Structure 1
Amino acid sequence: MGAPLLYHMFKSKTNFPLHSAIRLKREDVVFLYLVDNSNELTMILNSLDNKGDLPLDLALQAREMSIATTLLENGADPDCRDTHGYTLLHKAVNRGDDHAAKFLLENRASVSLVTPNNGDTALHLIATCSPETTLEETISAMAEIAQLLLDRGLNPNLQNKMGFTALHLAVMAQNEELFSLLLSRSSTQLIDMNLRTLDGHTPLWFALIRTTGSELYSCNSFAARLVEKGAIPNPIYPANGNSLLHLVAQEGLEDAGLFLCNHIHNIDHINRKGETALHLAADRDLGRLITKLLECGANPNIQTLPPEIAALSDEPELTVYRQSCMHRAISGGNLNAVKAFLEHRVTAEDSKDSIVANLNLRDSQGNTPLSLALSLGMQNIVADLIQGGADVNTRNGEGLTLLHQAIKKQDVESAIFLLNQGANIDAKTMSEETPLQLAILYNMPDVVEALCRRGIDMSAVDKYNNCPLWAALEFGREDIASILVKNGVDTDHWSDGPEGCYQTLLHRAIDENKEQTAKFLVQSGCDLNTPRRAGPGGRGGEEAHDQQSPLHLCCQWGLESVVQTLVEHGANINVKDAEGKTPLHIAILNQHHSIISLLLCHPFLDLTVPDKNGLTPFATALSCRNNKAAQAVRDKLPTAAEQFDSKGRNFLHMAIQKNDVESVLFLLSIQVDVNSRVRDTNQSSPLHLAAETGNELIVRSLLLAGARADDRDGHRRTALHVAAEAGHAAVVSALLQNGTDYDATDAEGDNALHVAVREGHLAVVRALLTESRLDAEAVNLKGRNPLHTLARYAKDNAFTICELFIECMPEYPLDKPDLEGNTALILAYTKGNGNLCRCLVKAGACVGAMNKDGITIFNYQVASNSKTLLKRLLDNLSQEPPWVEGDICLECGTKFGLTMRKHHCRHCGRLLCSKCSGQEVPILKFNLHKPVRVCAVCFELLHVGVS
């Protein structure tokens, strides 16, 4: 098709006729377009079509150099950029178009323009051509373009936005041709081999990471050639202080590290953490690199820096510092690294220049490599470390030896291994704990056995003053305790107890109610009978002097199982404490019935042993009302209840005297002898004692149990006598109701009424008079009836008792004399009991009676020579009293005969002679209106009255 027609078609059918003509390679149509648009060529020739293509770029891609030349001649810009900001040169290089690139360079295209995104020059783009993705011929062609770029003055040290130079990129892409080109021009164009990327990397870093194995050691390797051309072999990274050697070690690039070792001198350079490359090699378990570094003189004993210095870096704060290379190797569990350090120690023994790893350096936590290995469970290297010179007794920051640490980790194998390696068995922790104490704490029987076999002190106490045996039992580890016992531990271990006294472990176990512990100690052969004792200087309270054996203590606290164990192992069952009490006494006092039963089964138990108070076990049971125990003791010893104390009393007697109803009832329930007598001069029966105490319930209980109501004591008194004497009316009633002999008399002939009136017990008198048919007129051996006795003893209530007599017995013989001739009135008068005298006179007692000594109430000499009482008695006479008979005058004593007639005083009834009754006077109160004979006393009274 002709050019005009085609041009016309392009104009009418497309928006970009020029671009279409170039694509069809129609230079003639291009010419027509240029002529037709000559006024706007500059703008048109540098405009992009809808595909983003430039006319000049289309011509170069189509290899239409004549069209390209025409476009340039008419104003096309060789440095024009496409929509992405790439120049035509950038695009030509990217597509490997060396023809286009050369054309542009020959037509003054700029060599230093960069891409907008990465800031790459054309040289950077060429450098990225990798043999892996680009054809060899293309790489070669691009190398020629690179040479042209350099020839035209492009600075080879220009860095893109990431800081990469063309050399960096060539190394990264393994672009041998460009790399060689750049190295060859290093002398003429001063190519900087040590420029850093924004990450701080030099080309050497990329050479090292892109090359592995034996290639790296070749003189033709990128790394070797860079170093040869002046690349610094171990540059420092300012951000963290790492060297290149640090970096390759950190990344695990062992071959790269080995390469650098042959070229660097600052092999012990430390970063901001204080780490050398050797530390990082140990972190990554790079055994070959570690060996090489050590051979090159690296110091394995440099320790990392403390946090305040390490904090200057951007790294997170370190928690552990002062770590040596060996620490780091062990921390990471890196066996190759550990092996390398240990092997170097062996090979460097004869060398004075080599620095070997110090296996006893400590990190900030106080761990040596050996202790660290144990703490991390790396037992497989412990032996090698010790063989290599590590101190088996070294301590960590917590003051723990390796043995302590192994025990705390419950690592039995390591602990025994350390013991076999000579670990110090006496070393203590900062808390004063021995290995034995730790082994007990962490329940390691095998370790305890091993320690005991090596002679460890089994008596050493911990901070709580506990010996190993106690600690084992405290934790419930009897297997360990058995091991200690088997190896000869002291099962007593005397130590401080309450208030400073001395006690054994058995005492302590019992005192703290640790039954299982106590049983174990007994079964292990501890002292079974020794009581606590005073501490140094007599220290100790009651416990130091109570002389209580372990069996006593068990009976006190109710530890039945321990009691059984003690008894089974031969503890003295009859041992006494300071108060003379046996264990059975203590068990009874504390109401521990199961223990009591257990002790009673013992064949050698002595139930007759009294304490210092004279109490046998049976008596103790009664005293504390432990009836169940008392029954059990009596079942074992039937005569227990019949035992007598030093006063001749048995338990029933004492219970009655204490008014202990419960004990009495108990004793009666076990059928003790209710008629047994006190073994003293009184010979009192239980009923006598009960009558004396006045407990009606006890009295009735005794009677129901078969007590003989009429038993007599040593003074021939019945219980009724005793109750009457004590004034217990209720008891008297009880006895009367149960058929006692109410007329029984004692050794003096007194019956119960005699006794009651003598003591002035009105209620008892009333009971006797109203509840029985007692002979109230009975006389005793002195001829005295109860009224005589009442008058003779003259109690304050004698008047009331006398009234009761008269009330109950109106015909009572008031004037009956005793053996001495005394009537009740004479006795009352001589005792000065006016009330009783008045009562008797009022009841009709004869006022003129005389006893055998010639004494009457008229001639009895009173203290004040006053006859006031007599006069009052006479004045109170309301009826003519009975006449007194006799043989003599009661006033002058004249004996009556044929010549001396008898007369009576009609007022007082006395027998008088005529002379003594010569006065006459009427007695109106007797209805005697005519004068009658009266004595001088009555005459005066009747005329004058009571003055």
Structure 2
Amino acid sequence: MSEDQDETEGDITASGTSSYDNEFYVAVMADDRERVSFISKKHGCNVVIRAHTILPLHLAASFKKVASLKSLLSSGADPELRDQRGYNALHTLISCWGGTFTNLQKPHSVPRAELCLRILCEHRADANAKVEDRSEQTALHMAVRYTALPAVSLLAAYGADLNAEDTNGMTPLHVASVMLKKDFITSLIGLGADVNMALRVSGNTSLHLVTMATAIQGAKNREAHIGCLAKLLDNGAEADAMNKNDRTPLHEACSMGEEELADALLSHGANVNKMTRAKESCLFLFLNHAANLRETSLLAKLLCLTSPLTICNKDGLLPASLTMPCFSQQRERLLDLTHCVSTLKDICKRHIYLSHCGKRQEACKRFLPARLYDFVFHYWENPHCISFVADDKVRPSGGLSIMPTTN
């Protein structure tokens, strides 16, 4: 039992609360520095205010009471004491960054929060202390979760580890990537976070996480989410990094039928012909999911860019959708196509596109004739008019009927 607890032991009332509880609570909330100092000296400042089940320092941090915070720290309040959630004072401040759970955010709340963070760190609050719960997140992880953007650079200035891992091996940049928070991705990268650090279990990098999170989010805020992808790629993220399923971000994008994501990755040099350990290409992974077969534009692009064109993995297995009886004709057409020799035109188109799409594409626009430029970068012919999509009004000449209907 601490000295502070001994001193207040005799002040417990019949209701079970200390006689100083309300007085201490009111003084902290009033931001009355002198009163807080007086009560701290009389009763101690590291004892829970029982009526509210909170430490005085945590109360001051929650409501950004600057004067109370300074007074408590000067009186010996320990910023590393934990509450029932396993939070220290710094974690508590971050979790209430824009306002407490019981009040609305106020215009002055964030600047005061920044000042409180500086005060805590200058009084030896550990910027790398982890929450004592199953997550084991640091204040920097929490800053991302609770959208406390100014806290990121402040914590880094006070020695926070930008690549600290939580229980799941996630760094703050991983958290920002999963949550698709571009401002945080930008800030963390600018401060030196490792863009290619992989999760211990899955092997996913931030680029994998952004790719999958964007696909899951669908059309909502798509432009901003693609911006997260570009930000990582522009700052050294490895486009062809493989996770523990032997998949690159482009493999994941194609597997989910995401043409925009695939285009963004290709424009930054992702290798469309990189294979998994099972020798499954981007085209194989695309065809492995029947739901993707409506994405005719991406299918045409993958058929044109894949070289050598194969649709089987190393065990000779076909993508799952091609084993469906309703797609037997398409399967035979695709198998025939794998035995065809590419024309010189197709080889040149593929080479120019893969070498110059993205940042070099603008240069091509200046020296290539307009028709040739459009052919290389904007025209994707579907070889043999292979189609999986039913269309009662228009079917390509020689095309096949297609996406099965269900009763």
Measured against the shorter chain, the TM-score band is: 0.5 to 0.7
Distance 1:181 1:335 in 2: 51
Deviations 1:79-100 (A, max 9, x none): 2110111111111111115243
Question: Which residue matches 1:253?
Answer: 258
Question: Which residue matches 1:742?
Answer: none
Give the alignment partner of residue 111 of structure 1, picking from 127, 136, 140. Answer: 127
Answer whether contact 1:290 1:340 (CA < 8 A) is retained. Answer: no
Distance 2:267 2:37 in 1: 67
Deviation at 1:328, TM superposition (A): 5.1
Give the alignment partner of residue 221 of structure 1, picking from 206, 223, 227. Answer: 227
Question: Which residue matches 2:379?
Answer: none
Q: Residues 333 and 201 from structure 1, CA distance in 2 versus in 1: closer, same or farther, beyond 3 angstroms?
A: farther
Question: Which residue matches 1:178?
Answer: 184
Q: Residues 260 and 104 from structure 1, CA distance in 2 versus in 1: closer, same or farther, beyond 3 angstroms?
A: same
Deviation at 1:46, TM superposition (A): 4.4
Answer whether contact 2:22 2:51 (CA < 8 A) is retained. Answer: no
Structure 1 residue matching 2:165: 3-state secondary structure: coil
Deviation at 1:237, TM superposition (A): 2.0
Q: Residues 24 and 300 from structure 1, CA distance in 2 versus in 1: closer, same or farther, beyond 3 angstroms?
A: same
Q: TM-score by structure 1 length?
A: 0.30
Answer whether contact 1:111 1:149 (CA < 8 A) is retained. Answer: yes
Distance 1:225 1:178 in 2: 11
Question: Which residue matches 2:314?
Answer: 305
Give the alignment partner of residue 262 of structure 1, picking from 264, 267, 271. Answer: 267
Question: Which residue matches 1:207?
Answer: 210
Answer whether contact 1:208 1:256 (CA < 8 A) is retained. Answer: yes
What pairs up with 1:191-340 in 2 under 5 angstroms?
191-197=193-199, 198-211=201-214, 221-238=227-244, 240-284=245-289, 285=293, 286-301=295-310, 303-306=312-315, 321-323=316-318, 329=322, 331=324, 333=326
Structure 1 residue matching 2:160: 3-state secondary structure: coil
Distance 2:223 2:36 in 1: 59
What pairs up with 1:340-351 in 2 under 5 angstroms?
349=343, 351=345
Q: Residues 268 and 353 from structure 1, CA distance in 2 versus in 1: closer, same or farther, beyond 3 angstroms?
A: same
Distance 2:151 2:72 in 1: 22
Structure 2 residue matching 1:260: 3-state secondary structure: helix
Question: Which residue matches 1:122?
Answer: 139
Q: Are residues 1:57 and 2:58 paired?
A: yes
Q: Residues 353 and 74 from structure 1, CA distance in 2 versus in 1: closer, same or farther, beyond 3 angstroms?
A: same
What pairs up with 1:164-563 in 2 under 5 angstroms?
164-186=170-192, 191-197=193-199, 198-211=201-214, 221-238=227-244, 240-284=245-289, 285=293, 286-301=295-310, 303-306=312-315, 321-323=316-318, 329=322, 331=324, 333=326, 349=343, 351=345, 353=347, 384=398
Question: Which residue matches 1:153?
Answer: 159
Q: Residues 45 and 218 from structure 1, CA distance in 2 versus in 1: closer, same or farther, beyond 3 angstroms?
A: closer
Distance 2:325 2:70 in 1: 68
Q: Residues 49 and 69 from structure 1, CA distance in 2 versus in 1: closer, same or farther, beyond 3 angstroms?
A: same
Q: Residues 242 and 206 from structure 1, CA distance in 2 versus in 1: closer, same or farther, beyond 3 angstroms?
A: closer
Deviation at 1:338, TM superposition (A): 7.0
Distance 1:12 1:232 in 2: 63
Q: Residues 219 and 246 from structure 1, CA distance in 2 versus in 1: closer, same or farther, beyond 3 angstroms?
A: closer
Answer whether contact 1:48 1:82 (CA < 8 A) is retained. Answer: no
Amino acid at match of 1:66: A
Structure 2 residue matching 1:117: 3-state secondary structure: coil
Deviations 1:386-407 (A, max 9, x none): 9xxxxxxxxxxxxxxxxxxxxx
Amino acid at match of 1:159: E
Distance 1:337 1:18 in 2: 80
Distance 2:296 2:144 in 1: 36
Answer whether contact 1:23 1:62 (CA < 8 A) is retained. Answer: no
Answer whether contact 1:287 1:336 (CA < 8 A) is retained. Answer: no
What pairs up with 1:72-111 in 2 under 5 angstroms?
72-96=73-97, 98=113, 99-111=115-127
Answer whether contact 1:348 1:354 (CA < 8 A) is retained. Answer: no
Distance 2:269 2:222 in 1: 16
Amino acid at match of 1:288: S
Deviation at 1:72, TM superposition (A): 1.5
Deviation at 1:322, TM superposition (A): 4.3
Distance 1:218 1:34 in 2: 49
Distance 2:158 2:323 in 1: 58
Q: TM-score by structure 2 length?
A: 0.65
Deviations 1:643-670 (A, max 9, x none): xxxxxxxxxxxxxxxxxxxxxxxxxxxx
Q: Are residues 1:144 and 2:162 paired?
A: no
Structure 2 residue matching 1:66: 3-state secondary structure: helix
Question: Which residue matches 2:104?
Answer: none
Structure 1 residue matching 2:347: 3-state secondary structure: coil
Answer whether contact 2:208 2:248 (CA < 8 A) is retained. Answer: no
Amino acid at match of 1:72: L
What pairs up with 1:547-626 in 2 under 5 angstroms?
none
Distance 1:145 1:265 in 2: 34
Distance 1:63 1:219 in 2: 33
Deviations 1:234-289 (A, max 9, x none): 22123x32332222222333322232233345322222433111111122324322
CA RMSD of aligned residues (A): 4.1
Distance 2:332 2:317 in 1: 21
Distance 1:352 1:64 in 2: 68
Deviation at 1:112, TM superposition (A): 0.3
Answer with 1 or 2: which has the greater Rg: 1
Deviations 1:401-447 (A, max 9, x none): xxxxxxxxxxxxxxxxxxxxxxxxxxxxxxxxxxxxxxxxxxxxxxx
Answer whether contact 1:79 1:88 (CA < 8 A) is retained. Answer: yes
Q: Residues 59 and 95 from structure 1, CA distance in 2 versus in 1: closer, same or farther, beyond 3 angstroms?
A: closer
Identity of aligned residues (%): 20
Distance 1:53 1:332 in 2: 65
Distance 2:79 2:13 in 1: 29
What pairs up with 1:664-675 in 2 under 5 angstroms?
none
Question: Which residue matches 1:16?
Answer: 18
Amino acid at match of 1:59: A
Q: Residues 82 and 332 from structure 1, CA distance in 2 versus in 1: closer, same or farther, beyond 3 angstroms?
A: farther
Q: Residues 64 and 247 from structure 1, CA distance in 2 versus in 1: closer, same or farther, beyond 3 angstroms?
A: closer
Deviation at 1:334, TM superposition (A): 6.1
Structure 2, gaps ≥5 residues long: 1-7, 99-112, 351-394, 401-407
Deviation at 1:110, TM superposition (A): 0.8
Deviations 1:305-346 (A, max 9, x none): 23xxxxxxxxxxxxxx343x6x8546485699879969x999
User: Could you list the runs of 4 or more consecutive aligned residues of structure 1 that deviate by over 4 angstroms after TM superposition?
Assistant: 10-14, 26-32, 212-220, 332-342, 344-350, 383-386
Deviation at 1:35, TM superposition (A): 4.2
Q: Residues 185 and 36 from structure 1, CA distance in 2 versus in 1: closer, same or farther, beyond 3 angstroms?
A: closer
Deviation at 1:125, TM superposition (A): 1.0
Deviation at 1:77, TM superposition (A): 0.5
Answer whether contact 1:248 1:254 (CA < 8 A) is retained. Answer: yes
Q: How many residues align?
A: 317
Structure 1 residue matching 2:174: 3-state secondary structure: helix
Distance 1:223 1:89 in 2: 31
Deviation at 1:225, TM superposition (A): 1.3
Answer whether contact 1:90 1:125 (CA < 8 A) is retained. Answer: yes
